A = this chain, B = another copy of it.
């Protein structure tokens, strides 16, 4: 393949329209229409509605957890957890995560302390945490990335040994298990995202899981922005109610979970087989889990081996209508407002910086077929094979 075959240099794109990154599993019109007709008939649209309550029950069964508390999105779920747990001072979390993990702390009046990550797994570097703990640290927020886990059992030991609390941003981890136990059951609480790009979709939404009765009661009191007639003492209230429209989609999505997980895994295996043959592309495996949702395909690009820098590869793919992206980028220590402390993090977050400079996320989910994966991998193979020519032509 000569460079003239690349859309970046004027050829016809490999895909007619942009192939998106996310999961985007939606129900059929028949099921959707039935669900929304029911909402219309009941004229019950929000706040502990019948579909919302059914969803919480089904989630509790599915995950084997005492309390699944649905919320309007995962960010506000994380804010509520920080508040309900009574955290103060500082909270340790990885620098390599979605911006909302840190922002939830800032809204809750807490200071994030960023920890580096493990280069192979992309998960928080367990051996670096103890060094960050001082008297102002009240908790660790584990983040379960890419359908893998950050090793919640080891983190539990670490948190207990240091006398701090532990909870999880499990936005990526719905349906994953650790030694057969569903993620959602670890630490004091875990928060899932039900955004449309996740395997369990409420189009937008989330859920807090906990096995702590008191914490659950506080969370349920914080959620509806009611007054102070709450049965338990809480500090703040939020408006974080999940609507019936969200719950309707999530209920159908939960029904479809086994099928969608299987589809993801099949696609992931196609990617795996082919990516493993390409020098300089390192697919991250969902580690630390006994079962994964396979909702992400993330590689790091070794520019020297692959022959093309990460950002140019993204340009090549975008021109072909493959919506690849650098993700996460940048590390949270380089985002507003945390960048003010950048000098403190100098040389402390080298793996984070390295991954932020080399990571690429590829499409998987409802709109991706085996043929799409083959076509994407072909582009990658040919980009590698024509790397010298591409680089030289691109620079001109």
Contact = CB atoms under 8 A, between A and B. Distances in A.
Contact of A235 (B26, B36, B108, B336): B336
Chain A: interface residue count, which band? 35 or more
A252 B227 CA distance: 31
B239 A46 contact: no
A237 B105 CA distance: 11
Contacts of A32: 36, 40
A43 B72 contact: no
Given A32-B40, A225-B99, A227-B99, A204 B45 contact: yes
Count of chain copies: 2
Nearest to A47: B204
Interface stretch (A73-81, A118-126, A257-265, A342-350): A73-81
Given A46-B196, A243-B245, A238 B329 contact: no
A243 B100 contact: no
A337 interface: yes
Nearest to A26: B43
A100 B245 contact: no
B45 A40 contact: no
Given A109-B109, A337-B236, A225 B26 contact: no
Contacts of A46: 195-196, 203-204
A32 to B, nearest CB: 5
A234 interface: yes
Given A45-B203, A46-B196, A107 B238 contact: yes
A238 B75 contact: yes
Interface string A178-205: 0000000000000000011000000110
Contact of A239 (B76, B226, B249): B76
Interface in A9-54: 24, 26, 29, 32-33, 36-37, 40, 43, 45-47
A241 B233 CA distance: 30
Interface string A323-344: 0000001100011110100000
A106 interface: yes
A108 B40 CA distance: 36
A228 interface: yes
Interface in A54-112: 72-76, 79, 99-100, 103, 106-109
A185 to B, nearest CB: 25
A100 B237 contact: yes
Q: Which 8 A-B pairs have the closest CB atoms?
A: A45-B203, A75-B239, A245-B245, A228-B335, A73-B239, A46-B204, A36-B36, A100-B225
